[in-house]
Structure formats: structure tokens, C-alpha cells
């Protein structure tokens, strides 16, 4: 047993070095903009850059829209599948897992072809409708996590009793859904929201192929043209990711319906 513990420490140490080194190096590199001293000048440059502000705002707004509309799409579906239409469960599950099986680049290729300016539904012909299309593609990216988090959340509350209680008090279905079911799913919804934000904020492939001014393509542009700012941006994105996942861990502690436990 002694030998086994020694081996465990060794494995742990090697992996710690592998995972910590890039983070430390990136941070160190991001401080090197001014010759001969460490400074936060690269961060200042990033925050002052109007394109940073614009693209970051764009991606934040888009991810908020993704979270709101994704939740509105998923909650009623999961609710009715669980309560009234259990036969549909396999179909719905299959569809929500599709985005994990079909690579994002394939889906966006399909969108570009189907919704081009000469089609029946020309979503790529104006910038506002392309924004909508990008929002929809982000909902597909988030769908697997959202659906599982919300479905698990629904299973941990007694949907049937809650619904019957609300009905016997005279509630109609909109007030059941928004007044009774949604508040009970707070934890599931908030954790899937943060995971969605962490995924969407730096997303590159879809935003770039739909040619939208999002944060992901901006990152790539800076990477190709600057030396130290990319490291500062990597540190910033890492802190955002870490922050989002930290919130999820705190919320999900000891409760069912946390995303990290149910998504995989």
C-alpha cells in the first residue's frame, strides 16, 4: 500500500505540472508588454480597445438571449414530456443529444446552405436575422446540457402533485408553468445558464462562419496580430470560465440537477 501511495503522488504531481504550467506561463507572458518590468499594460490595452468592448457586449447579449429562449423552449417540453407525453421521451432525448454527435461545424454548414439569401427562409440576408440564426445555433449547442439539467430538476420535484395542487386551486397552465414549476427549477436553470454563458462567450466556429462580430472571432483576430494581448485575453476568459463553473459548483452542492453531475 505504501508503494501505491507514492505512485499516486507522482501521478498527481506530473499532472499538476502539466495543467498548471500553461496557466502560469500565460499569466507571466501577459505581464511582459513593457520591456524589463511586469505590468498590466496588456490588460489596459485590451480593456481600452473599443472592439473588445463591442464584441464582448455582443456575445454577452447573445448568450443572455440564448439562455432565455433556450429555457423557454426546454422547460415546457421537459414538463409535458414528463407529465403527459412520456411516449415522446426517447424522441426528445435523441434530438437533444444530436448536437453532441453532429459537430458544430457541420450544423453551421447546413445553416449557411439552407438559410442563405435565396432560400425560403433567408436568415443570412440581414444582420439582425443572422444574429437570430447565431442565437438559434447557440441554443442547439446548449440544448444537451439545458435539457438534462432541467429534466433532472423536474424529476427531483413532484411535478404531478404540484400540478394537481395548482389545478385544484384553479390555476391555468401558464400560471402553473411560470408560477409553480419554473421557481422550483431555479437551481437547474441557473446552473445551465452559467454553463451556457461559459460555452457561448468565446465560441469561435459558428460566429466566424456566420460572420458576426462576436468575442470568439475577435480573440482569433487579436491572436493573429498582437503578441501580449492574446495572453491577457486568455487569462480573462479563463477567469470567466472558472467563475461560471464556481457558481455552478456552489449551487449544485448536495443537490440533484447540478449541470456538472448530469451533463456527462
Partner 1 sequence: MTPLPAETVPPSRSLAAPAAPISFAWLGVAPFFVFAVLFLVLPTLHLVVGAFQDADGNFTLRNLANLFQPQIVASFWVTIKISMISAVGGAVIGFLLAYAGVMGGLPRWVRPVLMTFSGVAPNFAGIPLAFAFLATLGRTGLVTALLFSVFGFKLYDTGFSITTFWGLILAYLYFQIPLMVLILVPALDGLKKEWREASDILGGNGWHFWRHVAIPILWPSLVGTTLLLFANAFGAVATAYGLTGSGINLVTIMLFAQIRGDVLHDQNLGYAISLGMVVITVLSNLAYIVLRARTRRFQ
- Per CB under 8 A, which of residues 203..262 are in contact with partner 1? 203-205, 209, 216, 219-220, 223-224, 230-231, 233-234, 237-238, 241-242, 244-245, 248-249, 260, 262
Rounded to the nearest whole angstrom, what is the least distance from the CB of residue 52 to partner 1 in the complex?
14
Touching partner 1, residues 117-176 (CB under 8 A): 136-137, 139-140, 144-145, 148, 151-152, 155, 159-160, 173
Give the nearest distance from C-beta 49 to partner 1 in angstroms. Answer: 16
Shortest Cβ distance from residue 230 to partner 1 (Å)?
4
Which of 46, 181, 187, 198 binds partner 1 (CB under 8 A)? It is: 198
Per CB under 8 A, the list member of 82, 129, 156, 184 interacting with partner 1 is: 82
Q: Report which of 239, 210, 237, 233 is spatially closest to residue 221, judged by C-alpha positions.
A: 233
Q: In terms of CB distance, is 9 or 47 closer to partner 1?
A: 9
| Contact with partner 1 (CB under 8 A) among 15, 57, 61, 68 | 15
List CB contacts of 31: < 8 A, sequence separation 6 or more: 38, 39, 40, 42
User: Which residue number, 64 or 247, has a Cβ lying nearer to partner 1?
Assistant: 247
Q: What is the DSSP string of 95-156?
A: HHHHHHHS-HHHHHHHHHHHTSTTSSS-TTSSHHHHHHHHHHHHHHHHHHHHHHHHHHHHHH
- Pick between residue 63 and residue 231 the one whose CB is nearest to partner 1: 231
3-state SS string for 143-183: HHHHHHHHHHHHHHCCHHHHHHHHHHCCCCHHHHHHHHHHH
CA 108 to mean position of chain CA atoms: 17
Q: What is the DSSP code string of 9-41?
A: HHHHHHHHHHHHHHHHHHHHHHT-SSTTS--SH
Q: What burial class does residue 149 get, using C-beta atoms within 10 Å of its C-beta: 0-12 exposed, 13-18 middle, 19+ buried?
A: buried
Identify which of residues 4 and 183 has a Cβ nearer to partner 1 in the complex: 4
Least CB distance to partner 1 at residue 147 (A):
9
Is there binding between residue 105 and partner 1 (CB under 8 A)? yes
Q: Each residue of 72-110: b (16+ CB within 10 Å) or e?
A: eebbbbbbbbbeeeeeeeeebeeebeebeeeebeebbee
Give min distance, CB of 143 to partner 1, in A: 8
Q: How far is the CB of 129 from partner 1 (least distance, A)?
A: 13
Give CA–CA dist 220/116, Å, rounded: 25
Taking the complex as a whole, how short is the minimal distance between the CB of residue 115 and partner 1, in angstroms? 9
Q: For residue 88, state whether it binds partner 1 (rule: CB under 8 A).
A: yes
Question: 74 vs 193, which CB is nearer to partner 1?
Answer: 74
Residue of 61, 68, 110, 178 interacting with partner 1 (CB under 8 A)? 110
Stretch 28-67 residues interacting with partner 1 (CB under 8 A):
28-30
Amino acid at each position: 500500500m505504501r508503494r501505491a501511495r507514492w505512485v499516486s503522488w507522482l501521478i498527481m504531481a506530473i499532472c499538476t505540472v502539466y495543467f498548471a504550467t500553461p496557466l502560469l506561463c500565460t499569466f507571466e507572458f501577459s505581464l511582459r508588454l513593457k520591456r524589463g518590468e511586469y505590468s498590466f499594460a496588456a490588460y489596459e490595452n485590451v480593456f481600452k480597445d473599443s472592439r473588445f468592448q463591442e464584441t464582448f457586449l455582443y456575445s454577452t447579449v447573445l448568450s443572455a438571449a440564448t439562455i432565455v429562449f433556450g429555457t423557454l423552449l426546454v422547460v415546457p417540453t421537459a414538463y409535458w414530456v414528463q407529465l403527459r407525453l412520456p411516449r415522446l421521451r426517447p424522441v426528445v432525448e435523441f434530438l437533444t443529444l444530436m448536437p453532441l454527435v453532429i459537430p458544430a461545424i457541420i450544423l453551421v454548414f447546413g445553416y449557411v446552405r439552407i438559410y442563405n439569401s435565396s432560400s425560403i427562409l433567408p436568415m443570412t440576408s440581414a444582420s439582425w436575422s443572422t444574429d437570430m440564426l447565431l442565437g438559434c445555433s447557440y441554443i442547439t449547442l446548449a440544448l444537451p446540457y439545458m435539457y438534462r439539467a432541467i429534466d433532472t430538476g423536474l424529476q427531483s420535484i413532484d411535478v404531478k402533485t404540484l400540478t394537481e395542487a395548482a389545478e385544484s386551486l384553479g390555476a391555468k397552465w401558464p400560471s402553473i408553468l411560470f408560477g409553480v414549476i419554473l421557481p422550483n427549477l431555479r437551481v437547474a436553470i441557473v446552473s445551465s445558464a452559467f454553463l451556457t454563458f461559459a460555452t457561448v462567450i468565446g465560441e469561435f466556429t459558428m460566429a466566424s462562419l456566420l460572420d458576426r462580430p462576436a468575442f470568439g472571432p475577435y480573440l482569433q483576430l487579436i491572436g493573429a496580430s498582437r503578441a501580449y494581448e492574446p495572453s491577457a485575453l486568455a487569462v480573462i476568459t479563463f477567469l470567466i470560465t472558472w467563475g461560471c463553473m464556481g457558481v455552478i459548483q456552489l449551487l449544485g452542492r448536495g443537490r440533484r440537477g447540478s449541470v456538472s453531475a448530469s451533463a456527462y
